[in-house]
Chains A and B, each alone.
Chain A
Amino acid sequence: MSDKPKLAFYWCASCGGCEESVVDLAEDILMVAGAVDIIFWPVAMDFKKNDVEAMEDGSIFAAMINGAIRTSEQEEMARLIRRKSKVVIAYGSCAHMGGIPSLANEFTRSQIMEYMYQEAPSVVNPEKTRPMLSFKHNSQNVTLPEIRNLVRTLDQVIDVDYYLPGCPPTPKLLKQAVLTLLSGEFPPKGTVLSPDEALCEECPRKESKPSDLSFTHFYRPHEILIDKTKCLLSQGVVCMGPSTRAGCEALCISGNMPCSGCFGPTSRVRDQGAKMLSSLCSNISENDETGIDKILDGIPDPVGTFYRYGLATSLLRKKITEDV
């Protein structure tokens, strides 16, 4: 093997979009491929866990792990890669903040199992069969990873050096990140590799945003015809842009959809959803409870709206239940 820096990719609980985004580097991928050796990338290349285990600790220059941590296997792999790597980057919203998978933290594991293997309309399972951790079959012991009680962010399981935000991160940010790391100038540990301002900063509709925002009604995108030229918030569409890190260059807005927050909060905010809620509510036009409540009916699912990508990293992390 050459002595080019070794790069590893791994995926945990994720949709595959992040992997796709690496491929989206298009011709730049050649540039990256030229500069590094990709030594582990289950989705694209045929390496085995054993190969990684065989490596020396710390021998991987950087590992990009995407996906949230939901199973014992993912924990195990994350730990393994951590041990073998100098730098670990949480890649994409799920590794960064739990992502969409962490909305599962609104339910307990048993609720989820119950639904998936029994209640869901498409399921036929009269024996109420459930996956088992281990199962003897023809004297062979077959095992399955355990689904954990919580969906976790990568850094709730292992030490993480950097974060590449986004659902998925843009090729531009990935390229920048790789170049930065290769340059040897490491940003402070814990840095989110994206501008530390909110999205409005780079939004093409910023100029159309009025200074006297006052909400009389909130709409979900399918409820109104969205004017393609005007700031979404000014149209009453909940746009998470003001509380979301810039860096995506307002992708969703360019597609005439509100930002739903995948880049996560700025470094000064502990809880993206709380901040967005605070800002939106502060500018509601009513002063009495009934009036306020009526307007708020336009946000029927606050958890799903404000923590779409970040319930796992929110301050409460999950729905509070009597027992687990």
Chain B
Amino acid sequence: MNSKKWRLNMPDKNYEPKIVAFFCNWCTYTASDLAGVSRLKYAPNVKVIRIMCSGRVDPQFILQAFASGADGVLIGGCHPGDCHYSEGNYKMLRRFRLLKRMLHSLGIDDERFRLEWISASEGEKVKTVINDMVEKLKVLGPLSIPKQINILDEELKEISEEHSEPLTAREELSHV
């Protein structure tokens, strides 16, 4: 386990970021339908989960998405003052501000977590936001938390379940 690079290969040009999005039903999801009806073209990397309001987005969802292998998480809600339920988007904004700080200190780059206000008529914005996020994440390369944990958990295999003999001393120096 000598300072093993978990990132086995740096992003090649085929790398496609995986982005999970949460769009509120009334504004951003409607806008993404509009983008569809208008036949705007954008990158296929974002997969949308529809919720009624951005206020429904539990920070657990965001962490779970990252932990399950998302390279980015995008939240789309109504513009301030426009939430269908008047204030859900403010609640989300408040969580977003702290979550972003926390993710930052946990090593998750700011670009990977985005909150965007996209109204029902802004189909065009759905396209530009998604394309922009995909471009930025391509530059950042994969986050691949599950992969990273898997690699770290390799060390657990060193002691097999069956035997419990003392570790045979290895030649290599560790802890360096």
Residues of A bordering B, CB below 8 Å: 53, 72, 75-76, 79-80, 83, 106, 109-110, 113, 130-134, 141, 143, 145-150, 157, 269-271, 273-275, 277-278, 280-282, 284, 286-289, 292-293, 296, 299, 301-303, 306, 314-324
Contacts and interface: CB of A to CB of B under 8 A. Distances in A.
Contact of B167 (A143, A150, A287, A288): A143
B101 interface: yes
Contact of B169 (A141, A157, A281): A141
Which of A147, A273, A316 has the most chain B CB within a 10 Å cutoff? A316
B80 A278 contact: no
B94 A106 contact: no
Contact of A76 (B63, B106, B155, B159): B159
B63 A110 contact: no
B59 A316 contact: no
A270 B60 contact: yes
Given A302-B102, A318-B106, A324-B1, 4 more contacts: A282-B94, A296-B98, A320-B148, A323-B6
Given A296-B97, A302-B101, A316-B67, A149 B174 contact: no
Contacts, number: 158
A303 B164 contact: no
Contact of A282 (B91, B105, B158): B91
Given A149-B155, A270-B64, A277-B59, A79 B164 contact: yes
A97 B99 CA distance: 21
Contacts of B3: 110, 323-324
B143 interface: yes
Main secondary structure of the interface of A (DSSP, over half): mixed
A157 B156 contact: yes
Interface residues of B, number: 52
A18 B1 CA distance: 31
7 contacts: A79-B159, A83-B164, A270-B60, A274-B63, A287-B90, A316-B67, A324-B1
Contacts of B174: 132-133, 146-147
Given A110-B176, A147-B175, A274-B58, A296 B101 contact: yes
Given A133-B170, A277-B99, A319 B106 contact: yes
Interface string B84-117: 0000001101110111011001111000000000
Contacts of B105: 106, 301-303, 319
A134 B67 contact: no
B22 interface: no
Nearest to B167: A72
Contact of A320 (B1, B143, B155): B143
Given A79-B161, A145-B167, A316-B66, A132 B175 contact: yes
A284 B6 CA distance: 39
B164 to A, nearest CB: 4
Nearest to B1: A149
Interface string B1-43: 1011111000000000000000000000000000000000000
B60 A269 contact: yes
Contacts of A274: 58-60, 62-63, 99
